[in-house]
Amino acid sequence: MSVVARGTKNAFRNSIRTVSIVAILALVIALALVMLLSMKAVQAKIDSVKGSIGNTITVSPAGGRDFQGGGNPLVAADVAKARAVPHVVSVTATLRGRLRTQGSTSGGFGGDANANEVTNLTSPITPGTLGQQNNGGGGGGATQQLPTNFTLPITVTGTTDPSNVQVSGVNSIKLVSGTSFDAKSSANVAIVGKDLATKNNLTEGSTFQAYGQTITVVGVYDSGNTFSNAGIFMPLATLQTLSGQPGDVTSVIVQVDSVDNLDTTVAALQSALGTKADVVSGTTTTADTLSSLNSIKTVATYSLVGALVAGAVIIFLSMLMIVRERRREIGVLKAIGSSNGKISFQFVCEALTLTGMAAVAGVLLGIVLSNPVLDALVSTTSSTSSAATTGFGRGGFGPPGGGGGGAGGVVRFNPGNFGRGITQFGDTLSNLHTVVGFNVLLYGILAAIGIAIVGTAIPAWLTAKVRPAEVMRTE
């Protein structure tokens, strides 16, 4: 009988011992596999968080922000410089304007100084007390009586990516009808907020007047925000032309490849743009999310190491006991000419048989338990942290600069895929799921082989110490 066959057969000489060893090893291997899967799932989520949460930078003209402050607008060359900075993966340029309802009197912000900045649309927002304070020109927060024909101005935003929630400062945004526009388009098209559309009976294909031009509505969006739903999005180039500000932008949103590179990118942007721009990284509690994820990863790592060590110890003690029980058998084999290597290999084959059976049962058990155990780790981590981290998806109006299907630079869009919305801390953790692949199964097999080899190293070495003469004399 060959050494391999003898070693495999020996694994079944004592059925009770075999079942016990296999059951215990199966639990250890299952725990190791669960921890390995948890580590991989957490690491994937860490990489995702670093590349999607808290990794944005806002660049605005020095001394100005939207309709406040002063300074000079940024230009196309500044946007190009920002795009060329290392670790920058996307740049969204915006230009904001205000449209006065035709026939109304608007105080503040230049009033009726620019007769071209008018529209036939009416804002759906009632001015109220705040509207009187902000538009009455009283200063110091004083409330003044506005003219009876006053309506709030309508904010229009020219952008290269209307799906970016940070452009409008909302949690989520979705297209409820129609299409978006090509980011590179210069056509007179727009998507309008749901409330503005309802107030002015606008639908896909409707037109309205702005800056003395006819604008076609290609879509209607809903942001869940009253102020944003009363606004208008246009292609950046279109608004630059209509407002007489060619090349100007009032804000640039920069996305970095990872939060790890945020600080260095802020410094690089500030250096590239100089004193003409204010560069601010987004306020975020990403560190809290990463801390919780790293805590789970640490627990999984230590548990994985502990499980592997426990498996090696179990097989070591088992084989040590077996070797001592079979001293007479080892002595006889040596007496008839078997070498130490063959005898040691026989015990290795026996250990491999036991760990192989345990590996099969352990892998199946680990696959079943991986997600429940990971959920338990997540629940424990979540209960010890009260922080919430906000992250923004890229939205779904269509990729910036995407191919323009149809006339006027309009791209078709599937509303069902629009917007990922806000990602809360709890969602980030609850979305952790293990994935079993071929490489994981390979790791399980290698771990079983490693446990068998390590666990039989010393017992196999002890076989070389057995002297046939001494064994036969004691027998």
Q: What's the rounded mean pLDDT across residues 350-362? A: 84
C-alpha distances in Å from residue 274, one per residue of 9, 142, 189, 253: 78, 38, 35, 17
Contacts of 368 (CB under 8 A, 6+ apart): none
**Which of the residue ranges 26-30, 173-177, 230-234 would you say has the lowest mean pLDDT?**
26-30
pLDDT confidence band for 359 (50 / 70 / 90): confident
**Which of the residue ranges 5-14, 241-250, 322-331, 438-447 would you say has the lowest mean pLDDT?**
438-447
Q: Tell me what the pLDDT averaged over the chain comes to.
A: 75
Pairing of strands 118-119, 88-101: parallel
pLDDT at residue 282, rounded to an integer: 60
Q: What's the rounded mean pLDDT across residues 56-67? A: 79
Pairing of strands 391-392, 154-159: unpaired
Question: Domain coordinates of the chain in residue numbers?
Answer: 3-50+288-389+424-474, 55-283
Residue 336 vs residue 104, higher pLDDT? 336
pLDDT at residue 205, rounded to an integer: 92
Residue pLDDT, tens place only, 84-135: 999 888 888 889 888 888 876 554 444 444 557 889 998 898 877 776 666 6
pLDDT confidence band for 323 (50 / 70 / 90): confident
pLDDT confidence band for 237 (50 / 70 / 90): very high
Q: What's the rounded mean pLDDT across residues 44-48? A: 73
3-class DSSP state of 19: helix
Cα 125 from Cα 140, distance rounded (Å)? 23
**Which of the residue ranges 2-16, 39-53, 252-266, 408-422 would you say has the lowest mean pLDDT?**
408-422
pLDDT at residue 409, rounded to an integer: 41
pLDDT at residue 86, rounded to an integer: 92
Q: pTM above 0.85?
A: no
pLDDT at residue 396, rounded to an integer: 46
Cα 252 from Cα 181, distance rounded (Å)? 19
| 384 pLDDT above the threshold of 70 | no
3-class DSSP state of 119: strand
| 45 pLDDT above the threshold of 80 | no
DSSP assignment letter at 171: S
Pair 292, 385: CB distance under 8 Å:
yes
pLDDT at residue 145, rounded to an integer: 60
Pair 85, 265: CB distance under 8 Å:
yes
Neighbours of 412 (CB within 10 A): 12
Taking 3-state DSSP, the helix, strand and coil percentages for the chain, each rounded to the nearest 5, stand at: 50, 15, 35
pLDDT at residue 38, rounded to an integer: 78
Residue 54 vs residue 436, higher pLDDT? 54
Tokens 């004193």 belong to 275
For the chain, give the percent of residues with pLDDT over 70. 71
